[in-house]
């Protein structure tokens, strides 16, 4: 879609332009006419491609499937991925083969680079998300995170689902006082070599750690929210490499191996191999304690500078076969009932994207009643949320990290 | 049953251009033709040829005639020529009765009674449901013979059928086999390297070299 | 009809692989119009060459292909030489099929948990023996040299090579050869190595090649046990294919071709090694040395295989323990508390994938068995048997799917299928599985079929049975046991397939294996324990039936026991 951005606002209100904007939109449902979308969705089977490495996520998706079957007569099928990019690959393979109308992927749980890629390659359907009946509950005008996914304008191409923030967690039985910043973490690592590590870059949690470190260490962070210019990279990132070069020999396995993802990191913590780890979910530690994966002496903490946070979304591929069904599901996922259920750490513990001020008192009460668990920081202790830098920076950081530390 | 005669008309078999054997003979109903020769003389090749199992590597010319009909081009199962091996080769997954029934033509009336009579004929009455592996060597050989006869062949080939039996049993089996074949009026071809076999068979003898 | 079977098999196997390779080759040279690549160029290769750690990835893939094969083969041959006829021999022979049925991923998880610094062994030794209160900071699993990867592969390849060797041994009359050599003064193990191995090796050569190809290109085991900075070439390729940056697809395709090259190079090197060993071995065999080393060889032969079998079994036991564990802190040898929670949570989700797995596996296996029987029966009836291990038959193409790395052609195959407008369905997945089930069913069935005494069918024919009658009434029932074993092998192969299921099913055909690997990305060892056990128990079920059914059917048929 090469329409100038201003056109999108217009397209949102004019079904005719929406038709023009999307190459396959002839048969596509019109999100402006919600009643007809719900009608069309009836009886559809929606294939939702979503990362499935977390059983509580899978259980929650199953819970959703039961609800939408009952309410909207939609059969929701969770296609379990070990990497979201698999879904991107699939849509690409379909486009490559000329399958522009009968795509297999109806909906993807997505954000960041995967979204940027799909958007840049015209692999997404829309705009649609801002017309969802529940969308206003996110208070988009006062919540930029809903409209910018890692600084990339969402442009109505994806609907918000979950909000997350990086937190550290540590075992109080092994660590007396936790670090409060990256330099303190380095000092702590000097005193406790081999007891900390992070996920292997380019895993999203690994990327998050080095991005967080850069945000804390760089002199000027403004520049990180603009597309990266080659000539700036070295100067801006120099403090990060100095920090990592010093940190790596002090890491678990002396930095010669890294856990592949957040769950592997959590397992190392559970096995007692490390005593500080990090997570992209503020309630992960509490959930893992309930699951016997972590000892109950584990607690969460954040750095004084604030921690990186972002949102994840639902997107619909341009060639999805059941767009109406996907929109109805996405809208249901935004409902206060579904969002509150999701936030319960006993269910999943993933933070809501709704703005609690916009909710009716009854709906608000659903959130107030949730017990967040012993290892979860209350909202007022989570500190400032730092925005995700532009994907071009994260890409370049990940690439430079690999060139520097892989195969040595 | 009017049994036909078995004829070998100018049979000539070669392997890689080298002549293995040549045979021109006629076996009358109830007679046994014995072909003798040391190992490697082509005895088994002759049997394979007559039964219809000759490997493609061999080149054969001539004809096998059964009751004047040329069966050389027919597949093994349509020739009506039965075969008795050194080993009884009773099907291990079938009972004794199952083995006997195996070869009986489909339209045979009252198979069960025929099987019982046949078992009684060879002194094994009541053995029908037995596992063939539990029979003695002599018993197995008799069942194998009876299985052959019940399949109602027009001629019979014998591939050293007594060589694996011990001496006492061997004589007894020869009597039984030749009596039965003669009684049924079947023309038979016996290959062996044992001259006692040839003597007991009582028919013409051809020596291969 | 039967005449068509070998050609049908060849077409089924060769067509998809060639098409898949072609669709990998085009993007490798810059041609992929959907991504704006409409001119041929060498840029993908240039990008590939600048990847950090590429040389190391390639080296590890290459070395693990050769080292895994050499070690597995040595262990199998030493065991056969040292233990034939002993009690250990009988026990191991009975364990071969269950060991073979453990899916690669499950075995890898088991091993990882066994040898990790916080794993079962360290826990048993701590703190009393080792003095460790915390897990030692040792890089064992995911070590940069790929040693634990190779160990995991060796554990799985030993049963495969052993099964293939046992099948081939039937035609060698090893006992008499060894007896002859012993009468000349050779000690038994040395005798076996000198008089049996030289004839055995040519018969198991193709399976050995399959092991080299597999070990140099494996994905799932390498993800669990292999090095990470950088990973093996196959894992890197998968990462590039899955990279959000779609332009990496070109480089990934070039990588897929490189993988093919690495595998072929490993095969060529092995071939070179064969020549060297043959030359050196000839001198050793003819050297007349009869005694020296007997005891060491004997000990090694028994100890090594025992170590491998025990590792696999203890690893699985460790997974079972994990699936029931509540709180389990280091260095406790056993969990402090036990819970059924992990099973209870997983059970509702198990039904669908288990049913789909069984349906796909049994359909693919039945199709494969039908085709294989048709081809073998044709071979029998036409009287033409290819010489063992020679490249003379159309059926040699059976080995193609075992030699061409999956990762090299599957992505291309997905594009081909898309272009043909084929919807990802169970049938497509079944077709994909058939590519890998067919060769294994053929490998395990052909030996018994070709060895089957032709006189049985001749008796049947001279008794008036038609060729089809002889097949259904004699050959098939008498070959029931090997047939069922081949089916169990087919089921096990299908159940273990990961990449074909994932790619051809578009992820919409969930099987136990895809679910297990997806969960594995979550690293929850307790949950992995549950799924890996389920994954391992399904093929085991097949082997239990394969062993039990003939016993049940032939209780009154002594001649059917232990044959043919």
**pLDDT value, residue A11:** 33
Instruction: For residues C129 and C119, give the distance between their C-alpha atoms in angstroms, rounded to a whole number.
Output: 15
CA dihedral C137, C140, C142, C143 (to 10 degrees): 100
Q: Is the pLDDT of residue C386 over 60?
A: no
- The structure tokens listed for C334 are 């056993």
Instruction: For residues B41 and B32, give the distance between their C-alpha atoms in angstroms, rounded to a whole number.
Output: 20
**pLDDT value, residue A298:** 94
- Kindly report the three-state secondary structure assignment for every residue of chain A: CCCCHHHHHHHHHCHHHHHHHCCCHHHCCCCCCHHHHHHHHCCCEEEEEEECCCHHHHHHHHHHHHHHHHHHCCEEEEEEECCCHHHHHHHHHHHHCCCCCCECCCEEEECHHHHHHHHHCCCECCCCHHHCCCHHHHCHHHCHHHHEECCEECCCCEEEEEEEECEEEEECCCCCCCCCCHHHHHHHHHHCCCCECCCCCCCHHHHHHHHHHHHHHCCCCHHHHCCCCHHHHHHHHHHHHHHHHHHHHHCHHHHCCCCCCHHHHHHHHHCCCCCEEEECCCCHHHHHHHCCCCCCCEEEECCCCCEEEEEEEEECECCECCHHHHHHHHHHHCCHHHHHHHHCCCCCCCECCCCHHHCCHHHHHHHHCCCCCCCCCCHHHCCCEECCCCHHHHHHHHHHHHHHHCCC
Q: Which of C137, C228, C243 is closest, CB to CB, to A258?
A: C228
Instruction: For residues C48 and C70, give the distance between their C-alpha atoms in angstroms, rounded to a whole number.
Output: 30
For the purposes of burial, counting CB atoms within 10 Å of the CB of A196, is it exposed (0-12), middle (13-18) or buried (19 or more)? buried
Instruction: For residues C215 and C64, give the distance between their C-alpha atoms in angstroms, rounded to a whole number.
Output: 6
A116–chain C nearest CA distance, Å:
8
Q: Is the pLDDT of residue B54 over 80?
A: yes
Q: Do chains B and C touch (3 or more CB pairs under 8 A)?
A: yes
Q: Which residues of B touch C549 (CB under 8 A)?
A: none
Number of residues written out for chain B: 209
For chain C, how many helices (H) and strands (E)? 26, 2
- pLDDT (mean) for C172-184: 84
Contact call for C137 and A254, based on CB within 8 A: yes
Residue A97's contacts (CB-CB under 8 Å, 6 or more residues apart) are C34, C415, C417, C418, C419
Share above pLDDT 70 across residues of chain C, in percent, rounded to a whole number: 95
Residue A241's contacts (CB-CB under 8 Å, 6 or more residues apart) are A400, A404
**Backbone phi, then psi, for C37, in 5-degree steps?**
-95, 95
Element housing C328 (H / E): none
Nearest alpha carbon to residue C213 among C265, C176, C172, C254: C265
pLDDT digits (tens, 9 = 90+) for B102-127: 988 888 888 889 899 999 988 899 89
Q: Which fold has domain A167-309+383-405?
A: D-Maltodextrin-Binding Protein; domain 2 (3.40.190)
- To which residue do tokens 């004589």 refer? B171
**pLDDT value, residue B42:** 81
Instruction: For residues A333 and A328, give the distance between their C-alpha atoms in angstroms, rounded to a whole number.
Output: 9
Element housing C38 (H / E): strand C37-38
pLDDT digits (tens, 9 = 90+) for C75-120: 999 999 988 778 888 888 888 877 887 888 888 989 988 998 888 8
pLDDT digits (tens, 9 = 90+) for C4-58: 887 888 888 888 899 889 888 888 888 877 667 778 888 889 989 988 889 999 9
Contact call for C34 and A295, based on CB within 8 A: no
Supply the pTM of this predicted model.
0.80
**pLDDT value, residue A17:** 34
DSSP state of C474: I
Q: Which of residues 354-393 of C touch B (CB under 8 A)?
A: 382-384
CA angle A220, A223, A229 (to 5 degrees): 125
Instruction: For residues C132 and C134, give the distance between their C-alpha atoms in angstroms, rounded to a whole number.
Output: 5
Instruction: For residues B184 and B145, give the distance between their C-alpha atoms in angstroms, rounded to a whole number.
Output: 12
**Residue ranges per domain, chain A?**
24-162+311-371, 167-309+383-405
Instruction: For residues C324 and A234, give the distance between their C-alpha atoms in angstroms, rounded to a whole number.
Output: 51
Plot region of A190 (φ>0 → left; ψ -120 to 50 → alpha; else → beta):
alpha
Domains A24-162+311-371 and A167-309+383-405 share a fold: yes
For the purposes of burial, counting CB atoms within 10 Å of the CB of B183, is it exposed (0-12), middle (13-18) or buried (19 or more)? exposed
Q: How confident is the prediction for chain C on average, in pLDDT?
A: 86
- To which residue do tokens 């079994």 refer? C313
Q: Which of B82, B131, B132 is closest, CB to CB, to C462?
A: B82
Instruction: For residues A251 and A192, give the distance between their C-alpha atoms in angstroms, rounded to a whole number.
Output: 9
- Measured between CA atoms, the residue of chain C closest to residue B102 is C463
A209–chain C nearest CA distance, Å:
18
Instruction: For residues A361 and C296, give the distance between their C-alpha atoms in angstroms, rounded to a whole number.
Output: 81
**pLDDT value, residue C202:** 87
Q: Do chains A and C touch (3 or more CB pairs under 8 A)?
A: yes
C418 touches chain A (CB under 8 A): yes
Counted across chains A and C, CB pairs separated by less than 8 A come out at 188
Q: Which of A49, A253, A256 is closest, CB to CB, to C507?
A: A49
Element housing C464 (H / E): none
- Measured between CA atoms, the residue of chain A closest to residue C240 is A85
- pLDDT (mean) for C492-503: 87
Instruction: For residues C314 and C516, give the distance between their C-alpha atoms in angstroms, rounded to a whole number.
Output: 20
| Of the candidate ranges B52-56, C254-258, C261-265, the one whose mean pLDDT is the lowest | B52-56
Helix axes C87-101, C525-553, angle to 10 degrees: 120
pLDDT digits (tens, 9 = 90+) for C324-372: 988 888 888 888 889 898 898 888 888 889 999 999 999 999 999 999 9
- To which residue do tokens 């041959």 refer? C77
Evaluate the CA torsion angle A112, A117, A119, A120 in order and state its sign: positive
Instruction: For residues A251 and C229, give the distance between their C-alpha atoms in angstroms, rounded to a whole number.
Output: 15
Contact call for B77 and C459, based on CB within 8 A: no
A234-to-A304, A400, B69 alpha-carbon distances in Å: 26, 10, 98
Q: Which of residues 462-481 of C touch B (CB under 8 A)?
A: 462-467, 469-470, 473-474, 477-478, 480
- pLDDT (mean) for C209-215: 93
Contact call for A97 and C418, based on CB within 8 A: yes
- The structure tokens listed for A211 are 């991005």
- The structure tokens listed for C450 are 């070709």
B61 or C39, higher pLDDT: B61
* Cβ contact A333:A64 at 8 Å: yes
A99–chain C nearest CA distance, Å:
7
- pLDDT (mean) for C292-312: 90
**pLDDT value, residue A162:** 93
Residue-level pLDDT, tens digit, chain A, 408 residues? 333 333 333 333 333 333 333 444 446 788 889 999 999 999 999 999 998 877 788 889 999 999 999 999 999 999 988 778 889 888 987 887 788 888 989 999 999 889 998 999 899 998 999 999 999 999 998 888 899 998 899 999 999 999 989 999 999 999 999 999 999 999 999 999 999 999 998 888 999 999 999 999 998 899 999 999 999 999 999 999 999 999 999 999 999 889 888 888 998 898 888 999 999 888 888 888 887 889 999 999 999 999 999 899 999 999 999 999 999 999 999 999 999 999 887 888 888 999 988 899 999 999 888 888 888 888 778 888 898 999 889 989 999 999 999 876
CA dihedral C30, C33, C38, C41 (to 10 degrees): 0
- Measured between CA atoms, the residue of chain C closest to residue A62 is C349
- The structure tokens listed for C368 are 């494969």
Nearest alpha carbon to residue A153 among A173, A124, A132, A182: A124
Q: Is it true that the peptide bond before A202 is cis, omega within 30 degrees of 0?
A: yes
Residue C134's contacts (CB-CB under 8 Å, 6 or more residues apart) are A272, A273, C330
- pLDDT (mean) for C518-527: 73
Q: Is it true that the peptide bond before B73 is cis, omega within 30 degrees of 0?
A: no
C186–chain A nearest CA distance, Å:
50
- To which residue do tokens 């023309």 refer? B187
Which homologous superfamily does the CATH classification assign to the domain defined by A24-162+311-371? Periplasmic binding protein-like II (3.40.190.10)
Q: Give the helix ranges, DSSP H, for C383-497.
A: 400-403, 406-419, 426-451, 454-462, 467-470, 476-478, 480-496
C561–chain B nearest CA distance, Å:
10
* Cβ contact C501:C452 at 8 Å: no
C243 touches chain A (CB under 8 A): yes
Q: Which residue spans within chain B are E strands per DSSP?
A: 6-15, 18-27, 32-36, 58-66, 69-70, 81-84, 155-159, 188-192, 205-207
- Measured between CA atoms, the residue of chain A closest to residue C55 is A407
Instruction: For residues C475 and A78, give the distance between their C-alpha atoms in angstroms, rounded to a whole number.
Output: 47
**pLDDT value, residue C130:** 77
**pLDDT value, residue B16:** 86
């Amino acid at each position: 879609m090469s329409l100038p951005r201003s056109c999108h606002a217009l397209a949102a209100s004019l079904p005719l332009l929406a038709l023009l904007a999307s190459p396959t939109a002839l048969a596509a449902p019109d999100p402006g006419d919600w009643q007809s979308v719900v009608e069309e969705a009836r009886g559809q089977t929606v294939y939702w491609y979503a990362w499935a490495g977390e059983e509580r996520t899978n259980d929650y998706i199953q819970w959703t499937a039961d609800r939408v079957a009952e309410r909207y007569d939609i059969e929701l099928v969770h296609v379990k991925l070990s990497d979201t990019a698999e879904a991107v690959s699939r849509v690409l393979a379909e486009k490559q083969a000329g399958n522009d109308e009968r795509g297999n992927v109806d909906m993807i749980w997505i954000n960041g680079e995967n979204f940027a890629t799909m958007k840049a390659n015209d692999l997404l359907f829309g705009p649609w998300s801002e017309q969802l009946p529940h969308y206003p509950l996110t208070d988009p005008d006062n919540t930029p995170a809903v409209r910018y996914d890692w600084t990339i304008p969402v442009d109505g191409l994806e609907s918000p689902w979950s909000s997350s923030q990086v937190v550290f967690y540590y075992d109080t039985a092994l660590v007396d006082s936790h670090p409060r910043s990256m330099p303190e973490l380095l000092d702590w690592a000097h005193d406790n070599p081999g007891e900390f590590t992070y996920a292997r870059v380019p895993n999203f949690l690994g990327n998050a750690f080095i991005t967080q470190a850069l945000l804390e260490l760089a002199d000027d962070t403004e520049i990180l929210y603009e597309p990266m210019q080659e000539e700036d990279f070295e100067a801006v990132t120099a403090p990060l490499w100095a920090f990592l070069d010093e940190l790596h020999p002090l890491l678990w396995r002396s930095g010669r191996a890294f856990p592949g993802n957040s769950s592997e990191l959590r397992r190392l913590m559970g096995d007692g191999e490390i005593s500080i780890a990090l997570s992209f979910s503020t309630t992960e530690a509490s959930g893992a304690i309930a699951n016997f994966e972590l000892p109950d002496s584990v607690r969460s903490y954040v750095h004084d500078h604030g921690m990186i946070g972002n949102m994840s979304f639902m997107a619909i591929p341009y060639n999805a076969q059941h767009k109406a069904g996907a929109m109805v599901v996405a809208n249901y996922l935004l409902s206060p009932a579904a969002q509150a259920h999701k936030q319960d750490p006993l269910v999943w513990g993933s933070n809501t994207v709704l703005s609690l001020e916009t909710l009716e008192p009854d709906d608000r009460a659903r959130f107030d009643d949730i017990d967040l668990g012993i290892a979860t920081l209350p909202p007022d202790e989570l500190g400032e949320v730092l925005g995700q830098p532009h994907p071009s920076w994260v890409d370049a950081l990940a690439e430079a990290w690999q060139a520097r530390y892989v195969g040595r | 049953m009017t049994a036909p005669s078995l004829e070998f008309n100018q049979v000539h078999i070669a392997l890689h251009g080298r002549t293995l054997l040549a045979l021109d003979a006629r076996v009358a109903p109830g007679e046994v033709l014995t072909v003798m020769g040391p190992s490697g003389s082509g005895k088994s090749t002759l049997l394979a040829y007559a039964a219809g199992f000759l490997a493609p590597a061999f080149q054969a010319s001539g004809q096998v005639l059964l009751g004047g009909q040329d069966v050389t081009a027919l597949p093994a199962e349509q020739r009506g020529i039965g075969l008795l091996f050194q080993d009884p080769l009773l099907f291990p997954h079938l009972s004794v009765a199952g083995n006997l029934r195996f070869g009986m033509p489909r339209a045979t009336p009252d198979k069960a009674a025929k099987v019982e009579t046949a078992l009684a004929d060879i002194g094994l009455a009541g053995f029908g449901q037995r596992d063939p592996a539990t029979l003695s060597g002599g018993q197995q050989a008799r069942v194998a013979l009876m299985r052959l006869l019940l399949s109602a062949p027009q001629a019979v080939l014998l591939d050293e059928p007594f060589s694996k039996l011990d001496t006492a049993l061997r004589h007894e089996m020869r009597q039984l086999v030749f009596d039965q074949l003669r009684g049924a009026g079947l023309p038979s071809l016996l290959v062996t390297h044992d001259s006692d076999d040839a003597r007991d068979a009582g028919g013409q003898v051809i020596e291969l070299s | 009809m039967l005449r068509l079977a070998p050609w049908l098999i060849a077409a089924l196997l060769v067509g998809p692989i060639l098409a898949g390779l072609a669709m990998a080759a085009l993007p490798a040279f810059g041609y992929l119009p959907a991504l704006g690549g409409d001119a041929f160029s060498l840029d993908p290769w240039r990008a590939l060459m600048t990847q950090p750690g590429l040389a190391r990835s390639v080296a590890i893939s290459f070395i693990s292909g050769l080292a895994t094969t050499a070690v597995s083969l040595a262990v199998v041959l030493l065991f056969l030489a040292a233990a034939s006829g002993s009690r250990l021999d009988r026990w191991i022979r009975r364990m071969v099929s269950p060991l073979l049925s453990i899916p690669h991923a499950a075995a890898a998880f088991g091993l990882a948990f066994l040898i990790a610094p916080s794993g079962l062994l360290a826990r048993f030794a701590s703190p009393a023996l080792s003095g460790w209160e915390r897990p030692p900071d040792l890089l064992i699993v995911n070590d940069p040299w790929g040693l634990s990867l190779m160990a995991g592969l060796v554990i799985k390849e030993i049963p495969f090579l052993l099964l293939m060797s046992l099948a081939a041994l039937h035609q060698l009359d090893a006992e008499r050869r060894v007896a002859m050599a012993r009468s000349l003064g050779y000690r038994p193990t040395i005798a076996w190595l000198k008089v049996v191995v030289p004839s055995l090796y040519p018969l198991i050569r193709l399976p050995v090649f399959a092991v080299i190809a597999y070990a140099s290109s494996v994905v799932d085991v390498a993800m669990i046990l292999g090095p990470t900075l950088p990973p093996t070439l196959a894992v890197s390729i998968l990462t590039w294919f899955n990279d959000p940056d779609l332009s990496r697809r070109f480089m990934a395709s070039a990588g897929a071709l490189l993988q093919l090259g690495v595998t072929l190079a490993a095969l060529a090197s092995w071939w070179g090694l064969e020549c060297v060993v043959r030359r050196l071995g000839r001198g050793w065999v003819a050297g007349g040395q009869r005694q020296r080393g007997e005891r060491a060889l004997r000990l090694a032969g028994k100890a090594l295989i025992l170590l491998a079998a025990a590792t696999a079994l203890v690893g699985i036991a460790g997974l079972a323990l994990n699936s029931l564990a509540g709180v389990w802190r280091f260095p406790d040898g056993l969990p402090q508390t036990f819970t059924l929670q992990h099973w209870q949570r997983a059970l509702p989700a198990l039904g669908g994938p288990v049913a789909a797995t069984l349906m796909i596996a049994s359909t693919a296996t039945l199709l494969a068995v039908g085709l294989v029987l048709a081809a073998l029966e044709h071979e029998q009836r036409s009287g033409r048997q290819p010489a063992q291990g020679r490249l003379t038959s159309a059926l040699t193409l059976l080995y193609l799917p075992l030699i061409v790395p999956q990762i090299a052609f599957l992505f291309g195959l997905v594009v081909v299928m898309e272009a043909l407008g084929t919807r990802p369905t169970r049938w497509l997945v079944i077709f994909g599985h058939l590519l890998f089930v067919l060769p294994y069913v053929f490998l395990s069935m052909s030996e018994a079929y070709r060895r089957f005494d032709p006189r049985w069918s001749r008796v049947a024919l001279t008794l008036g049975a038609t060729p089809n009658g002889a097949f259904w009434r004699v050959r098939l029932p008498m070959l029931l046991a090997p047939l069922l074993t081949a089916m169990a092998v087919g089921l096990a192969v299908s159940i273990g397939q990961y990449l074909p299921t994932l790619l051809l099913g578009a992820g919409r055909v969930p099987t136990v294996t895809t679910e297990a690997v997806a969960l594995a990305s979550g690293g929850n060892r307790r949950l992995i324990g549950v799924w890996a056990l389920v994954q391992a128990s399904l093929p085991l079920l097949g082997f239990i039936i394969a062993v039990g059914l003939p016993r049940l059917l032939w209780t009154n048929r002594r001649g059917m026991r232990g044959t043919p």
